Amino acid sequence: MGKWSDNDRLAEAAYAHFGRVDILVNNAGMSPLAPSLSETSEELFDKVIAVNFKGPFRLSALIGERMMAGNGGVIINLSSSASFKPEPSTVPYSGAKAAINAMTVALAKAFGPKVRVNCIAPGPFLTDVSGAWRDNTAMKRQLGLRRFGEPEEIVGTALYLASDASSYTTGAVIRVDGGVW
């Protein structure tokens, strides 16, 4: 997802296969931890920014413009609670996700009124990437709900944003994070 040419091919393949795109979900991401700020390699920094921001930007630009030229559509970006509460070990990731939040607002302005662009900012969910912290009871106690999210708990927000139920919602960043403050 981090290469423009790959996103160009993906957009073309989607239109060739389906004839149109009604809903784009920018869900690709990666969040590796670096050993320290100064030991964050340029390669790791560039890869995190490319996958988490550069790819979604390019794909949204390509598909959003075609949605505008057609019957409209919906773009749903995935951010992170790390965009609001960054930590030293996640600076590139947090920065890329903060850029997604900003991009969401800008693209909502650029593609409105035919295309709604919104964002979901998940907190700690028990997915395959949670292995390093899923047993961290101190982290759990810091959450407003005192527990980590289950993957199915984000589905309702995605369905809301993808459906006409959110017909008056655009440029929003909706936190689904169990109370990460």
Task: Report which of 87, 75, 64 is spatially closest to residue 11, judged by C-alpha positions.
Answer: 64
Question: Rounded to whole angstroms, what are the CA distances from 27 to 90, 119, 120?
Answer: 18, 10, 10
Catalytic-role residue among 15, 93, 160, 168: 93
Question: Rounded to whole angstroms, what are the CA distances from 99 to 37, 56, 95, 105, 120?
Answer: 19, 10, 6, 10, 13
| Residue 168: active-site member | no
* Tokens coding 181: 């403050």
Catalytic site residues?
93
